[in-house]
Structure 1
């Protein structure tokens, strides 16, 4: 029964029963008895969970919980449905709507600490069920189960609404800032055009004065005819051009203060913002602003905190010795946004905006781990020994690069007194590879996308990974389950898929998607496909599965999804999101997640390497410049990865050496500030605690890297990690110059990722290739479904390519250049039918086609 509290899968529970019976030397009973034991254990575990979660709740609060299932007087929906369907588009009125819902949840009065009375996995599962069960179904449950489910829903809703409100505040302030930047730029361009005539008059008049001074004329009266009136007018107009209001976005942002006034008072009063000493000034300012809105006062007190005001804001905040309220409020809210991102201001009751230290392993636990044995890290945990190893590697790299440069033997690199020049890599693909690729793909069977999913499921059983969220049982209708996965992968959606697929109703598909589809299931299924693909001999020609690359792929957002998406100017002026995907050297896409279009890619590099569900053991990883940062360089060695990004501006980057190291005359021009050895040593234990927390899964790498990159420059831990990263990057840069194989591996790895993106773009063709979902959860399902579909095509192509290449007698040196990413032979559109009579047995393949080129020959 205790195991059944956290484990939902019946087969796993049955295995536990059988293992215990064997341990006690009890003869195994018939399967029906084992099933009865499992069923009874699940019932007891569920009963205990419900009793613990509702124990101590007074009858009046239970009545309040039941009212969540009642219909609102002014609307047709229930209170619970209203709470679930919170707005997501960043707007002042939507922040107020979120705050209204949060206030309603808080009136229930349940202590969030009640969730800790049961295992966290059990609470998460119950809260997840509470989101998916309809209010009508909840009303039909037994009182104990209904109250426990509603209690879990209330606690989780308070947390999620808190995070949603703070996230919307972040997005709204960001969009206001972006609009202010655009308006400031447009205003400056328009002002310059309008000012051209005045500027010409001003420059002509100034030229007369300069010429007079050159001729020795010291009296203005001796200059001759001079249009002083026009000169004065031109100077006055030029002064307009240089006003801060014209060239600084801050002035334009302050003009939008009326937008902030709509929600600022209620927003600041709704949360308890907390922080350490350095942010106390911001917290005091926020308290003063909240009091102004609460009391209805219009003027700020005579003395307000000003130390937190950045230099760029001061001319706007303090005007003629008086503090401007609008500028002061916007400055304080902007600083709040930045500090929430960094984690040095946190909010009680939030999961996303917690205290930075609360993410990590407690100091006492870390001390005990360190004392009992080696930490689960891949580096020497003693700072002096680690730095000495890096010093030796850096000295060796400097010596070798200098020697090769003097001999002119740096491969495709010139390094001399005139600077550094790196030549582009030359293609090494044999000419026969393209002809062999065309011939091999011509011989592949022509199939529908549904045929591929059926074949791959028969080979791997990946559909077994999608079990019911509550019962843990597999879906009864396998074809309907595959239909739901296909709807995610090709971006068709359930409504249109129900119209395109015979025998599947929208209600059936929606039920399967709600109760069987999850990120964990997608991850487990992807792991099965990749492990099966690695076992195909042809995959071994493409790599050993020890290196990988990662890159983001932009997808525009349309419909309701456009309102909550971000704009990244690098990808155009349309809102969208990015699917960040990791691809192994064998073309396996072993991880994919959704990130905001404006988010940096670097924080997410480690997530894919650490948290995948495959047997891959990655040693070397490649990214482009967007995925590289000194923080990523610093963390990679802690987990045993060699980081090899393709840095676009490597000639402009500096080498950072340890104190006492010399670079020599050829490299002197590339040397920057020395490594802050003492600072890194002082924070070494904190870095080990951070890395151990990430390795043990206490916190994700992306969460920590996002917060560290958002910290102010004086933060000690962020600076220490940057210094360690600079040291690793310096070693890498020297390796890059002398090792042409490293450059080729990096380029080849990134090319594989880009080729995978082309296949993904071809598959994600419905809805004009746009994301129309506004919920992040649904967007994640689209990304995971697409990645699973790509992996299925890669596995299917690989098995059939191996058969075709063998029949063609293609040598391995040519076959290794033929990627399993073609889709010309796959029908992606039309009706999606799963009932096919020509399906081969799981241990057989379809017959190859006769190549048209062979017929011609």
Structure 2
């Protein structure tokens, strides 16, 4: 019989206990007495009864239970209540030692007057029904019980013992789990159940399960890796699982089941009952199917870039080999040029002058050689790409045949072209029919695709695959079973849900939602600001800004930190004690208990092996990995560190742990000297990876040719890094910047945010306005950019070179 406990003994002790230090916000919210409260309290004659009656009322409101005379009352709460009554706080001792019947009479009167209810069987059923939707989203015991207590306070239901609440939450969680398992498995056929069982059965002669095979990483970008991804994708697709079940289960639950399927061994899954095992595998397979689609399309994009780069390098090598011949031709034509100049000055025959340097036959041949050398210096990237067609053919047949794409109407010719290629691959026909879609062929591809009224098969196919990549990037082309490349509408809220949010007023949109009204407000605001700037620039009163040759010139900011600070910083660091990193982490955990957030994926319990947890954290922080970290720590093993990493260290646990530390720093009085925690900035920091074959490694030419990833960090004005996310080195920062502002779990109330040029786009400006953030990016080459206005630029003579009228460049869809 499984235990019905969700909390640890320490959590159980503190769950219904008032904290020793009560915040001003908590006191004001729950313990400020109204005029009606005071009128009822004053009906007591004795001072101790007035105060005791008030204390009982305070406990009924928060934490939502009855008060026991034997427990200590927080001194700040007692003083706060006594001050409102203007009585002596010590008189509560007399009330606690007085008649028990008086206290029960007061409690009964409070329940009658304020409508507080005792916990009963009907309340149990009522709260069970309310808690089930939340339990379908999470099975975290603390979260469920805290939500339960909050709802009980709202419904004025007095809390029973904590063990009763645990049993209620445990039972609801069990029902939610069975409901999720049922939804995922109720439509499975017998054949599908047999195939799921085969997933966790050891295969021979490889001596591994199909589950292990499906979990294999994608590998480095190559045709062989692409074909392996497609093979795994087709295996899952052929199971014919219904993806519609995903819409009936909360995302958090699916994510948990998916992670369990990724981490659990086949032996562990076989220990579950059939329903739970099959549900876990279904969630894992449906999520893996989406990941495999994204991996395949990402690998196609990488291979296009890789082969284009290889073609460029081949051209560069050929150019290096031709460099000697180029220099010889330059020296030769310099001599010919001097001879011709001399012949003109002396009126000699030009042909004789040329033949004085070299024979005419040799001169004619050097001209032909020079034309060939000129051709080699001109880089035609498309021709280089077409030249590597054989390499693409190693995987593009599978790409076209496996995935079904959808698009906007403008991209239908491209999808038709993909169907043509699929048909050619099936029939083995090499010649492209004349009547094929070519509307997608852009100008740079046209000379290579259309040759002498025929269509070049190699160029046509590569053009289609290149445009497919571009369409996936822009969102004009999508694929249904994908997480990264699905249709834009799939990212949006369903219309019914959006309408409900609007009616409830919970859209959290901070602007005027009526479009004409909003546009008129922004038009007036822009007009006012432009007139102000026009006047300031004209009079030279705008600090550090001037116009020069119709360009905006901004004076660079002077260095804000004196050079002497560096020496002072070194002296300050020298004063700090030298401590071991594990000791430092344990000390920080004593201030801000962040280690408790690294919880087990299944049980939700904090990691019990703290030594292994600290080793795993340091191993990741120092980029050593579990193997080297185990070698560096006495008594530590690779298995212990790997187990903690697999089960207790996830994105959400890191986020919660980071929030714990940042919140502690934010509440420290010294942090206020740096800022108030309402502004922040973000930027990416690039880190090299071990090699080009590492999954996720990408090359960004801004940083050279070495592959790597970027750590995108949000930093508050109090120097707290409240959000860190690993992104591709080639990804633009802008969307990840918005994610950081929305999905951090700290107490920071960010209102204004700064970024560099890579952190802004026109769309991000609009999104930040919708979300209520002030956005101030540092835009590179701001002086060369135009500002769009509703008025004619002539309305602002000084700023006119910087302005452009909106009506001439009206955005589509407005």
Q: Which moved more, 1:337-346 or 1:480-489?
A: 480-489
Equivalent residue for 1:472? 604
Q: Cα gap change, 1:554/1:377 in structure 2, threshold over 3 Å: closer, same or farther?
A: same
For 1:464-613, what aligned pairs fall within 5 Å after superposition?
464-559=596-691, 562=694, 564-613=696-745
- Partner-residue secondary structure (3-state), 1:282: helix
Shift of 1:252: 0.8
Structure 2: 5+ residue stretches without partners: 1-127
Looking at structure 1, the residues matched to 511 and 180 of structure 2 have their Cα atoms a distance apart, in angstroms, of: 42
Looking at structure 1, the residues matched to 394 and 249 of structure 2 have their Cα atoms a distance apart, in angstroms, of: 40
Equivalent residue for 2:805? 674
Equivalent residue for 2:219? 88
Equivalent residue for 1:626? 758
- 1:505-531 CA-to-partner distances (Å, cap 9, x unmatched) read 322222221111111111111112111
Q: Cα gap change, 1:36/1:640 in structure 2, threshold over 3 Å: closer, same or farther?
A: closer
For 1:58-137, what aligned pairs fall within 5 Å after superposition?
58-137=189-268
Aligned counterpart for 1:315 among listed residues 447, 460, 474: 447
Shift of 1:43: 3.0
Q: Cα gap change, 1:161/1:458 in structure 2, threshold over 3 Å: closer, same or farther?
A: same
- Partner-residue secondary structure (3-state), 1:297: coil
For 1:184-203, what aligned pairs fall within 5 Å after superposition?
184-188=315-319, 190-191=321-322, 193-198=324-329
Looking at structure 2, the residues matched to 641 and 25 of structure 1 have their Cα atoms a distance apart, in angstroms, of: 37
Equivalent residue for 1:279? 411
Q: Do the aligned partners of 1:53 and 1:117 also contact (CA within 8 Å) in 2? A: no
Q: Do the aligned partners of 2:550 and 2:802 also contact (CA within 8 Å) in 1? A: no
Residue 11 of structure 1 pairs with residue 11 of structure 2: no
Looking at structure 1, the residues matched to 483 and 420 of structure 2 have their Cα atoms a distance apart, in angstroms, of: 26
Shift of 1:583: 0.8
- Partner-residue secondary structure (3-state), 2:788: coil
Shift of 1:139: 1.8
Q: Cα gap change, 1:316/1:201 in structure 2, threshold over 3 Å: closer, same or farther?
A: farther
Shift of 1:389: 4.1
Q: Cα gap change, 1:563/1:433 in structure 2, threshold over 3 Å: closer, same or farther?
A: closer
Looking at structure 2, the residues matched to 279 and 550 of structure 1 have their Cα atoms a distance apart, in angstroms, of: 36
Q: Cα gap change, 1:161/1:203 in structure 2, threshold over 3 Å: closer, same or farther?
A: same
Looking at structure 2, the residues matched to 59 and 617 of structure 1 have their Cα atoms a distance apart, in angstroms, of: 53
For 1:412-491, what aligned pairs fall within 5 Å after superposition?
412-416=544-548, 420-429=552-561, 437-491=569-623
Q: Cα gap change, 1:394/1:230 in structure 2, threshold over 3 Å: closer, same or farther?
A: farther
Looking at structure 2, the residues matched to 212 and 282 of structure 1 have their Cα atoms a distance apart, in angstroms, of: 61
| RMSD over equivalenced CA pairs, Å | 3.3
- 1:675-705 CA-to-partner distances (Å, cap 9, x unmatched) read 247834x634xxxxxxxxxxxxxxxxxxxxx
Residue 306 of structure 1 pairs with residue 306 of structure 2: no
Equivalent residue for 1:327? 459
Shift of 1:630: 3.2
Q: Cα gap change, 1:169/1:454 in structure 2, threshold over 3 Å: closer, same or farther?
A: same
Equivalent residue for 2:305? 174
Looking at structure 2, the residues matched to 573 and 565 of structure 1 have their Cα atoms a distance apart, in angstroms, of: 11
Shift of 1:272: 1.0
Residue 51 of structure 1 pairs with residue 182 of structure 2: yes
- Partner-residue secondary structure (3-state), 1:553: strand
- 1:699-739 CA-to-partner distances (Å, cap 9, x unmatched) read xxxxxxxxxxxxxxxxxxxxxxxxxxxxxxxxxxxxxxxxx
Q: Which moved more, 1:289-298 or 1:386-395?
A: 386-395
Q: Which moved more, 1:130-139 or 1:53-62?
A: 53-62
Looking at structure 2, the residues matched to 115 and 365 of structure 1 have their Cα atoms a distance apart, in angstroms, of: 17
- 1:393-424 CA-to-partner distances (Å, cap 9, x unmatched) read 44444444444444444434443568554333
Shift of 1:29: 5.0
- Greater C-alpha radius of gyration: 2
Equivalent residue for 2:426? 294
For 1:281-430, what aligned pairs fall within 5 Å after superposition?
281-363=413-495, 365-366=497-498, 376-416=508-548, 420-429=552-561
Equivalent residue for 1:657? 789
Q: Do the aligned partners of 1:163 and 1:351 also contact (CA within 8 Å) in 2? A: yes
Q: Which moved more, 1:115-124 or 1:538-547?
A: 115-124
Looking at structure 2, the residues matched to 9 and 677 of structure 1 have their Cα atoms a distance apart, in angstroms, of: 55
Equivalent residue for 2:119? none
Looking at structure 2, the residues matched to 575 and 46 of structure 1 have their Cα atoms a distance apart, in angstroms, of: 43
- 1:79-120 CA-to-partner distances (Å, cap 9, x unmatched) read 110111143311001111111111222232222223334333
- Partner-residue secondary structure (3-state), 1:380: coil
Equivalent residue for 1:141? 272
Shift of 1:260: 1.0
TM-score normalised per structure 1 = 0.73
Looking at structure 2, the residues matched to 683 and 55 of structure 1 have their Cα atoms a distance apart, in angstroms, of: 44
Equivalent residue for 1:831? none
Residue 683 of structure 1 pairs with residue 813 of structure 2: yes
